[in-house]
C-alpha cells in the first residue's frame, strides 16, 4: 500500500535527524523528570514540594466528591486531625476515594487552579483508579516539561548545531532544580515557558519566512500564551516569566539588525498586553475567591494582601510570621540565591571524599558564564570558527546577560517571598538565564575544540606533545585551585571534636560551641530542617554592647536560613546526609544563647545554653 502523494511529500520534507533528536531528547528528559533516572536530583526527589502539590490533590478529591467548581474551583486541602500530617492526608483521601467533607476544606486563594481543572477533566474520562491517575498526571506533567525544554533545544540546534544542543541537553539533565520541579503537579513547570517559547517561535518564524509580523499578531500570541501561564500556575514567578518572555526579542533584534523603533514597538506591545492579561487574570481569581470570601471586593483585597506580604509591605501590618521576611534586605536575599547549588554531583559520584568539591553554586555558574562570554569573543587569529559565528554569539550573549534580570527581578521585587522560600526559588535561574548559558557554553566549547584540534594537526609532533603537557599541567593547577577554594579544612573536624560544649536539641540537631563558633549538625536531615528559619538569640554579659534598639529586650537577634551558613564537611558525616551550619559568634562576652527554628505556626524547637556553665 502506497501513501498519498501529499503525505509522501510531507514525510520527505521532515528532517529525520532532527526528528530523532526530538524523540531522544523528550525520552531522556521525561525519564529524568518522572523517575529521576539519571540521578539529576538528590534523595529529596520523591518528597519535593509535596506541601504545594497536596493543594492540587486535595482539590482533585473535592472535585470528585462535590464537583469541579465547588469552592470557586480553588486549590486547597481537607482539614486533618493532625496538622503535621495534613499534606499526606490529601493523598490518602484521593487515592482511597474517601469522603471526608465533614472535616472541612481550606482553600488556597492565590491561584486559579488551571492545572487541577485539567487533571479533573482527565480524571472524569479515565478508566483507571485514582492511584493510577496520580501516576498518569505526573507522567503527563513530566512529558510536558520535557517538551518545552526540547523545543528550546530544537532552537539551539537550528541556530548553533546538534553538538551544542546535545551539550545543553546534558547540562539540563544534570541540573537538579529542573528535575525536582519537572513532574510536580502544582508547579506545572512547563507552563512558565509557554510565553517565552511563543515569542521565540514567532521571531524564528519571522526570520525564516522573511515576513514581518504585525504588532496585532504578536500581541494576540502573547496574550494567549500569557493567559495560559496565569491559568495553570497563577502569578508564581510572574516578573521572571515576563522578562523571560521578551528575551527572544533581544536575540533577533541583534541578529537581524532591527531598528530601535522596531524593538521598542515590540517591547511596548509586550508590556501593554501583559498588563491587560494580568488584570484579567486578577479579576478571574478575585471572582473565584468571592465564592469563599463573599464578594469580588474581598477577592481583590486578598490579592493585595498576598502581593504586599511577598514584596515590601509594612511589617507592622502583617502577622509575626511574615515580619522577618519583610524586614530582610536585598543583599541578604541575593546572597542566599547566589550561594545555592546549581549542580550537585554528590548523588551521582559515590564515595566522594569532599562534598563541596562536587558542588557548583549559582554564583560560580555566573562566573563560568562570564569566562565563556570572553572566550566566545576570541578573534579569528585564535579561533576562526568562533569568529565566523561572532554575530550569532554576540546576539546570544547579549540575550544571556539581559536574561539574568529575570531571576533577579523576583529576588529583588519579591524579596519577602524569596527570603522565606529558599527551598524552591532557585528554579528562576533557569528562566531562561541558565538555559541560554548552557547553549553559549555548548557552542563555544564545540567550536573552540574543533579549532584546537585543527591547530594541533598542523604543528610538529614534539611541539604538539609539549602543548598537551603544558595544557595538562594548567588543568592540574586549575583543579588544585578549585579544590583549595572548595574543600573545607580539617580544622572543622578538630574544632567539633574538641568543642567546649555540645548539646542535642529535641529534634535531633546537635549543637557545638568551639573557638568562638557555634556549629549545628543534623544527620539524615529533612527538607524541613533546611528550609525552616533558625532564630539565634545572643545574651551578652553586658547589655551595653548591644545596639540601642536591642538593649531593652536584652539580647541580639540573628535569624538566618540554613543555606546562608551551611558548610560542607568530610565524608565522616554519614555519607553526605548531613546538614552542617557554622556561625561565628560575636566578639563580646556571652552569658547565654537561645537557638531554635520557627515557622508561621510558631516555634518548632528551642534550646537555651548557659555559656558560663560550659567553661570548666
Whether residue 10 is predicted with pLDDT greater than 60 in this model: the reply is: no
Q: What is the pLDDT of residues 263-310, one digit of tens each?
A: 999 999 999 999 999 999 999 999 999 999 999 999 999 999 999 999
In terms of pLDDT, which residue wins out, 165 or 553? 165
Q: Give me the pLDDT at residue 500, please.
A: 56
Q: Give me the pLDDT at residue 526, please.
A: 74
pLDDT band at 567 (very low <50, low <70, confident <90, very high): confident
Question: What length does the chain have?
Answer: 616
480-499 average pLDDT score: 58
220-240 average pLDDT score: 96
Contact predicate 252/258, CB 8 Å: yes
For residue 21, what is its C-alpha cell? Answer: 533528536
Of the candidates 250, 258, 263, which has an alpha carbon nearest to the alpha carbon of residue 406?
Answer: 250
| DSSP 8-state secondary structure symbol assigned to residue 172 | H
Whether residue 418 is predicted with pLDDT greater than 50 in this model: the reply is: yes
Rg (CA), the chain: 27
Q: What is the pLDDT of residues 309-364, one digit of tens each?
A: 999 999 888 888 888 889 888 988 998 899 888 988 877 765 445 566 678 889 99
pLDDT band at 370 (very low <50, low <70, confident <90, very high): very high
Q: What is the pLDDT of residues 114-149, one digit of tens each?
A: 999 999 999 999 999 999 999 999 999 999 999 999
Q: What is the pLDDT of residues 493-541, one digit of tens each?
A: 556 666 655 778 877 788 888 778 888 888 767 777 888 889 999 999 8
pLDDT band at 484 (very low <50, low <70, confident <90, very high): low
414-439 average pLDDT score: 94
Whether residue 454 is predicted with pLDDT greater than 90 in this model: the reply is: no
Would you call 560 helix, strand, or coil by DSSP? strand
CA distance 417 to 467: 51
CA distance 333 to 360: 19
Q: Give me the pLDDT at residue 351, please.
A: 47
Q: Percent of the chain beyond pLDDT 90?
A: 55
CB-based contacts of 549-557 (< 8 A; 24+ apart in sequence): 555/594, 556/586
Of the candidates 392, 344, 394, which has an alpha carbon nearest to the alpha carbon of residue 365?
Answer: 344
182-208 average pLDDT score: 96
Query: Exposed, middle or buried, 467 (CB in 10 Å: 0-12/13-18/19+)?
Result: middle
Of the candidates 585, 579, 584, 574, which has an alpha carbon nearest to the alpha carbon of residue 597?
Answer: 579
Report the mean per-residue pLDDT for the chain: 87
pLDDT band at 84 (very low <50, low <70, confident <90, very high): low
CB neighbours of residue 331 within 10 Å: 7
Q: Give me the pLDDT at residue 483, please.
A: 62
Q: Give me the pLDDT at residue 223, please.
A: 97
Whether residue 474 is predicted with pLDDT greater than 50 in this model: the reply is: yes
CA distance 290 to 300: 9
579-591 average pLDDT score: 85
Report the predicted TM-score, pTM, of the whole model to 2 decimal places.
0.78
Q: What is the pLDDT of residues 39-69, one digit of tens each?
A: 888 778 888 999 999 999 999 999 998 999 9
pLDDT band at 616 (very low <50, low <70, confident <90, very high): very low
Tell me the DSSP string of 437-473: HHHHHHHHHHHHHHHHHHHHHHS-HHHHHHHHHHHHH
Q: Give me the pLDDT at residue 476, please.
A: 83
For residue 206, what is its C-alpha cell? Answer: 519571522
228-232 average pLDDT score: 96
Alpha helix (H) residue ranges in 294-361: 296-310, 320-327, 330-339
Amino acid at each position: 500500500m502506497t501513501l498519498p502523494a501529499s503525505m509522501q511529500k510531507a514525510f520527505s520534507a521532515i528532517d529525520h535527524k532532527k526528528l530523532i533528536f526530538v524523540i531522544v531528547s523528550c525520552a531522556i528528559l521525561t525519564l529524568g523528570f518522572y523517575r529521576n533516572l539519571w540521578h539529576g536530583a538528590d534523595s529529596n526527589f520523591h518528597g519535593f514540594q509535596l506541601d504545594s502539590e497536596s493543594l492540587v490533590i486535595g482539590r482533585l478529591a473535592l472535585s470528585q466528591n462535590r464537583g469541579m467548581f465547588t469552592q470557586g474551583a480553588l486549590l486547597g486541602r481537607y482539614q486533618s486531625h493532625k496538622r503535621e500530617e495534613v499534606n499526606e492526608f490529601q493523598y490518602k483521601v484521593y487515592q482511597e476515594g474517601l469522603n471526608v467533607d465533614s472535616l472541612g476544606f481550606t482553600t488556597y486563594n492565590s491561584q486559579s487552579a488551571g492545572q487541577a481543572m485539567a487533571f479533573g477533566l482527565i480524571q472524569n474520562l479515565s478508566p483507571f483508579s485514582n492511584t493510577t491517575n496520580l501516576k498518569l498526571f505526573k507522567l503527563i506533567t513530566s512529558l510536558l516539561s520535557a517538551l518545552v525544554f526540547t523545543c528550546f533545544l530544537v532552537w539551539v540546534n537550528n541556530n548553533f548545531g546538534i553538538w551544542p544542543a546535545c551539550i545543553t541537553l546534558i547540562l539540563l539533565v544534570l541540573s537538579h532544580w529542573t528535575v525536582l520541579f519537572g513532574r510536580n503537579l502544582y508547579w506545572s513547570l512547563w507552563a512558565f515557558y509557554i510565553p517565552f517559547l511563543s515569542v521565540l517561535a514567532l521571531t524564528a518564524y519571522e526570520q525564516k519566512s522573511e515576513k514581518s509580523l504585525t504588532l496585532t499578531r504578536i500581541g494576540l500570541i502573547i496574550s494567549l500564551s500569557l493567559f495560559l501561564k496565569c491559568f495553570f500556575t497563577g502569578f508564581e514567578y510572574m516578573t521572571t516569566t515576563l522578562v523571560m518572555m521578551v528575551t527572544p526579542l533581544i536575540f533577533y533584534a541583534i541578529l537581524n539588525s532591527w531598528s530601535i523603533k522596531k524593538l521598542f514597538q515590540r517591547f511596548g506591545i509586550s508590556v501593554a498586553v501583559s498588563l491587560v492579561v494580568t488584570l484579567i487574570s486578577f479579576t478571574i481569581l478575585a471572582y473565584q475567591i468571592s465564592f469563599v470570601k463573599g464578594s469580588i471586593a474581598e477577592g481583590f483585597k486578598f490579592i493585595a494582601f498576598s502581593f504586599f506580604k511577598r514584596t515590601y509591605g509594612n511589617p507592622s501590618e502583617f502577622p509575626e510570621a511574615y515580619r522577618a521576611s519583610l524586614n530582610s534586605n536585598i543583599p541578604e536575599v541575593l546572597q542566599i540565591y547566589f550561594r545555592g547549588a546549581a549542580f550537585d554531583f554528590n548523588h551521582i559520584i559515590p564515595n566522594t571524599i569532599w562534598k563541596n568539591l562536587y558542588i557548583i553554586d549559582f554564583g560560580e555558574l555566573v562566573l563560568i558564564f562570564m569566562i565563556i562570554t570572553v572566550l566566545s569573543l576570541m578573534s579569528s587569529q585564535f579561533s576562526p570558527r568562533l569568529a565566523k559565528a561572532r554575530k550569532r554569539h554576540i546576539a546570544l550573549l547579549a540575550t544571556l546577560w539581559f536574561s539574568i534580570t529575570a531571576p533577579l527581578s523576583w529576588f529583588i521585587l519579591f524579596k519577602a517571598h524569596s527570603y522565606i522560600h529558599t527551598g524552591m526559588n532557585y528554579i528562576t535561574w533557569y528562566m531562561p538565564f541558565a538555559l541560554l548559558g548552557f547553549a553559549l557554553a555548548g557552542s563555544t566549547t564545540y567550536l573552540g575544540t574543533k579549532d584546537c584540534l585543527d591547530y594541533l594537526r598542523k604543528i610538529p609532533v614534539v611541539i604538539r606533545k609539549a602543548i598537551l603537557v603544558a595544557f595538562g599541567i594548567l588543568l592540574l593547577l586549575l583543579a588544585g585551585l578549585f579544590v583549595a577554594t572548595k574543600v573545607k579544612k580539617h580544622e572543622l573536624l578538630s574544632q567539633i571534636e574538641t568543642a567546649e560544649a555540645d548539646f542535642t536539641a529535641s529534634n535531633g540537631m546537635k549543637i557545638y560551641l568551639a573557638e568562638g563558633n557555634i556549629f549545628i549538625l543534623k544527620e539524615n536531615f529533612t527538607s524541613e530542617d533546611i528550609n525552616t528559619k533558625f532564630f539565634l538569640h545572643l545574651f551578652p554579659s553586658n547589655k551595653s554592647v548591644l545596639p540601642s534598639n536591642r538593649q531593652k529586650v536584652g539580647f541580639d537577634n540573628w535569624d538566618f536560613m540554613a543555606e546562608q551558613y551551611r558548610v560542607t564537611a568530610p565524608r565522616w558525616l554519614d555519607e553526605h546526609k548531613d546538614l552542617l551550619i557554622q556561625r561565628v559568634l560575636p566578639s563580646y562576652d556571652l552569658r547565654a544563647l537561645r537557638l531554635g527554628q520557627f515557622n508561621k505556626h510558631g516555634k518548632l524547637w528551642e534550646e537555651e545554653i548557659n555559656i558560663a556553665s560550659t567553661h570548666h
